[in-house]
A and B are shown apart, each in its own frame.
Chain A
Amino acid sequence: MAHAFDQDLKELVQAFSRGAVNRRDFLRISAIAAGAVATSTALAACGGDDDESEATQPAAATGQATTGSGQATTASGQATTGSGQATTASGEATTAPAGSGTGTTVTSIVSQAEGEPLTGVELSLPWKTFGTGVVIDPHRAPNWGPFWYLLPFAYGGLVQFDESAVIQPDLAESWEKSEDGLTYTFHLREDAKFASGRDVVADDFVYSWKRALDPENPSPMLHFMEHLKGQKEYTEGTADEIEGVKVIDAKTLELTLTKPYNFFLSYLGTFVWDIIDREAVEEFGEDFASHPSGTGPWTITTIDPQLVVEMEPNENYYGGVNPSISKLSFQVLVGPQADNTALNLFKSGETAFTDLPIALLDAVKQDSDLNENLFTIDPSGSIRSLAMNFKLAPFDDVRVRRAFGHAIDRETFGEVIWRGTWVPANIYTPKVVLNSDPGYDPPEEETPTFDPEKGKQLLADAGYPNGEGLPEIRWYVSSESASDEINRWQAFVNMFKEHLGVEVVMDTSLTQDQITTKQSEEGIQMAEWWWGNITETPQLISEVFRTDAPYNASGVQWQADIPAKGGYDPGADAKKFDELMAQADIEQDIDKMNDLYRQGETLVLKNAVYVPIANLVPHLLVQPWIRNMRIGWWNFSAPSRFEPDVVVVKH
C-alpha cells in the first residue's frame, strides 16, 4: 500500500539525522540509507568495495544488454598487487610497501593465497548484528547492513552486486532493455535450481515478489521495488497482479517500470528481489529458512538467532559445489564484547576476516603479525556530512550554512580526530561513483573547502561578526555514546569555536531515541548524516535532496518556499534542483545524465544543503590462507558471498 510505502520513506529520513554516530549507528544508518536511497548503497556491516572499473558503465544508462557467467566477477580494472603477500588489490589501488606496518590501501581485495586447497573445512565468519533481531527472510528482513552481507550467501535473484557494487548476472544469464528504457526482458539460466533441486522458473519470481509486496505484510525494503509498474496498486490491495511483471515463458520474464529509471538494475540487485522456494514456504511455514529454500551457493541448516547461522554448500547451485569449505558458521556477535570477540576469533584462525573498529586499530597496528594482514579500502561509497535545517535559525541564511562548511578542517577530522578512518571530502557524491561513472565531473566551484577567513566573512555578511548575535546552537550526541566518541564530537564542534568564534553547545542529555523523536517533532538545528552508495551513477543526490525526499523534508527542509536572503535564493534553487533530478534519473544518454547531476550537485553545494565532510576508510584483517574471498566497498568490510572458487589452502 502506498500508505506503508510513504511511511517507510518518511521514517527513513531521520535515520540519518543524528547527533552522534558510533560504529553501530554508522552501520545502521548506512544500511538504512542504502535501502532508502536510490542511489548508492552499500550498506552493510562491513565491507568494502571498490570500484574499479571501466566495467562499470551503468548498464541502464548505456542500454547494453549484459551477459555473464552468473558468478560474481571482479572487474578487471588496473590490477595492482597489494601487500605482496597473500592478497591482491584490484582497481587503481594505492599500495603501501609490504611490511610497512601501516596496512595496505586498496580499492578492493581478492585474496590470493597460494597452495593446495584443504577439504572439509569448517569456517566461521563474524556476523555483528548491531542491535537488530535476526530475520533470515529476504522479504521480511529490514534494511540493515548485516542482512546485506549474509542473505546473498543463501538467496539470489535476477542480478547481484559484486564487491564493487557493480551489477552482475545471477539467475538471469542475460537481459535486454527496450529503447525507451521502460521494459527489461530477463532470460533465466537453464540450470538455475533451488536448493531442493527444483527448477527455477519465471513463476517463482512472481510468487516471491508478491510475497515481498504482500498488502498485509509488505517488506521493510519495499522502496527498492517502487519503480516497478503496478507495485503501488498491488501493495495497496487494489490489484491482484503486479502489472509490471509478465511471464513470457518458463525461463523468460519481462519487467516494466513506471518511468525509465536508469539506476533500476542496482535496485534490482537488493535482497528484497531475491526468490524463495514456494514449496519450502508451504511445507515449513515461517521456518522455511532453515531448510533448503534459496538459490545461492549455500543453504542454511541452522538458525540460532542469538548464536549462529550455519550453512552448507548448496548441491544444486548452478555454479557448483564448494570443494573446500563444508560448513560456514556466521557467529552472531552482539554486545560490548562483539568487536573484541571478532578480533580474537581472527587471531585464533577461526574466521577468515574481521573488520576493525577504531578502538582496536592501535592494538592491531602494534602487532606485527596482525599488521601484515591489515587492509584499508579507499575510496569508499560512504559520505559523512553536516546537515543543517533551513527552517531553524541561524541556518535559514545560506551564508551561515556556508560559513560552517568553511570552518571544518577535514584533514584534522579524518586524520586526527578519527585516526585515519576517514578521508576529507569536498563533494557530496561518494568517491566510488567517480570510478563507476568516469564521465561524471563533479563540481569544483561552490565546494566548502576549509577556509576560516572566508567563513568569518560570510558570517559577518550575515550579520553575525565573530558569531555575535547568533542564537544558541546545539549539537546532540547520544547519551549512550562511549566517552571517546563524545570526545571526538567535542573536538569537532570545537572547530567552529576555533575557526569562526562560534560556541556550539554539546548536548549529551538525550538518548538516541529521544534525539530521533526530537528531530521528527521539532527539528534539530544541525546533525551529522551518513550515506552509503549503491548505484553506479550519482543518483544519491537525487534520492536525498529532492524536495519530496523524506530525508530532505524531515532533516534539512530545503523546500521551494524558503525566501531569498543575502544574495542566495534556496527556494528557487530547490525547485530547479527537482526539475534537474526528474530528468537526470530517467535520462538514457549518460553524458546528458552526468551533466544534469553535476548541475544538481552544484546547487546542493551552493546552498550548503548538506556540507560534505569525509569518506569512510574501512579497516579490516584478511587471513593469508583463504583464496578468492572478495571484499570491496560494497559491504563495508565484509566479503561478498562465497562462490565455489573460495577455498582455504594449507597453512
Chain B
Amino acid sequence: MLGYLIRRIFFSLLVLIGIVTVVFFVARASPQDPVMAVLRQNATARGQVDPVEYQRTRHQLGLDRPLVVQYFDYIGNLARGDLGESIVQRNRDVSDILGRGVPISAQVALFGLALQFVIGSFVGVWAAARQNRAFDRASMGIAVWLGALPQLVIGIVLIVVFGIKLDWLPIHGWGTWQHWLLPITTLTVTGVAAYARFSRASVLEQINQDFVRTAKAKGLSESRVMFGHVLRNALIPIITFVGPSLAFVITGNFVVETLFGVPGVAFYAVSSLIQNDYPVMQATVVLWAVAIMVVNLLTDLAYGLIDPRVRLA
C-alpha cells in the first residue's frame, strides 16, 4: 500500500511537471505579449510602445532572460510555492488571489456536489427498485431532459425566473446566503440527472447478480438486500463518477462562476484569460492539474476500502 502510494505520487509529479512545461511554453508561444499586458495597465502605453519602456518592463518581468533559464526559475519558484504576482491586479500575489478563490469555489462546489449526489442517488436507487413503474419512467424521463440542458441554459432560466420575474434572489455577486442559491441550484439541477441515471444503472446491474438472488433466497428483507449487498457494490462505479467532480471543488465551475459572478478560482481563471494575466492563468492550470491528480489518487484509494477485491500494490 505504501509502495503504491509513493509510486503514484512520483508518477503524478512527473505528469505535473509535464503539464507545467506545456503550459509554460504554450503561454510563451501565444501571440499575446505579456509585456503589452503590463503596459496596457498603464493605459498610456497602449499604442505606440516606447522601446525603452518596453525593455524595462520586459526586464522587470524577467522575460529578457533565455527561455530555459525562465523555465527553470519558474519551476523552482513553483516548488517553493511561489506563484508570482498578478499582472493585472498590481501588487497582488497570485497565491493570494487563488487563496481567496478556493474557499468560495469549494463552498459552491461542495454543496452542489453533495446535493447532486444525495438527490441523484436517491432518485436512481428508488427508480431502480421500482424498475419500469411510473416513478422510474417519470424520473428517468425528466433526467434525460435535464441532462440534455447545458448549465448555461439552466443558469439563465433560473436568473430570468428567480432573479428577474419573481425578483426573489440576487443574480450576481457573493456575500449573503441568498447569493448561494442560484449557483448551487444550477449545479445541482445539471448534475442530479447524471447521478440519477448512473446510480439507477449501477443498482440494476447489481440487482440481477447471483449474490443478490442468494441473499433474497436466504430470506433477507428487501431493505437489507438493498443496503447491505446491492448498494455497496453499486457504489464503486458511482465513486469513480464522483471522483473527477471533486476536482471542481477546488477549481470551481467555469460556467456557474462566470454567469453568477461568484469570485472563485474558475472566475479568476476566466478573467485572467480575458485580461492576459499570465501568472494567474498558469497558476490556475497548475492548480487544476494538482486537484485532478489528488482526486484521482483518492478515488483509487477509496476503491480499496470499498471493494476488498481491489488490491493496491
Contact = CB atoms under 8 A, between A and B. Distances in A.
B32 interface: yes
Contacts of B52: 7
Given A347-B164, A511-B32, A11 B173 contact: no
A155 to B, nearest CB: 18
A513 B263 contact: no
B53 interface: yes
A11 B44 contact: yes
B66 interface: no
B173 A331 contact: yes
A142 B89 contact: no
Interface in A504-537: 510-511, 513-514, 516-517, 519-520
B44 A333 contact: no
B90 interface: yes
Given A11-B49, A14-B47, A15-B46, A133 B36 contact: no
B219 interface: no
Interface in A245-286: 286
Contact of B41 (A10, A14, A132, A347): A132
B163 A133 contact: no
Contact of B47 (A142, A307, A519): A519
A335 B272 CA distance: 9
Interface residues on B, range: 35 or more
A32 B171 CA distance: 32
Contacts of B33: 513-514, 517
Contacts of B46: 11-12, 14-15, 28, 32, 516
Contact of A133 (B41, B160, B263): B41
Nearest to B47: A14
B159 interface: yes
A220 B43 contact: yes
Contacts of A349: 167
B229 interface: no
Contacts of B159: 344
A134 B172 CA distance: 19
B170 interface: yes
B88 interface: yes
A334 interface: yes
A144 interface: yes
B50 A7 contact: yes
B44 A220 contact: yes
Nearest to B172: A341
A647 to B, nearest CB: 21
Nearest to B274: A335
A632 interface: no
A16 interface: yes
A334 B159 CA distance: 18
B99 to A, nearest CB: 13
A286 B92 CA distance: 12
Given A142-B42, A331-B172, A516-B36, A348 B47 contact: no
B194 to A, nearest CB: 25
B271 interface: yes
A345 interface: yes
Given A132-B88, A306-B263, A11 B53 contact: yes
A16 B47 CA distance: 7
Contact of B31 (A305, A337, A350, A513): A513
A220 B91 CA distance: 17
A308 B263 CA distance: 10
A304 B41 contact: no
A347 B274 CA distance: 26
Nearest to A7: B50
B185 interface: no
A31 interface: yes
Nearest to B168: A348
B46 to A, nearest CB: 4
Contacts of B263: 304, 306-307
A331 B270 CA distance: 17
Given A10-B50, A32-B46, A348 B167 contact: yes
A354 interface: no
A143 interface: yes
B34 to A, nearest CB: 10
7 contacts: A8-B44, A14-B47, A133-B41, A348-B164, A513-B32, A517-B49, A519-B47
Given A15-B44, A17-B47, A331-B173, 11 more contacts: A12-B44, A15-B47, A16-B47, A131-B275, A220-B42, A306-B97, A333-B261, A334-B274, A335-B271, A344-B163, A513-B36
Interface of B: 31-33, 36, 39-50, 52-53, 86-92, 97, 159-160, 163-164, 167, 170-175, 258-259, 261, 263, 267-268, 270-271, 274-275
Interface of A: 7-17, 28, 31-32, 35-36, 131-135, 142-144, 220, 223, 286, 304-308, 329, 331, 333-337, 341, 344-345, 347-350, 479, 510-511, 513-514, 516-517, 519-520, 550, 554
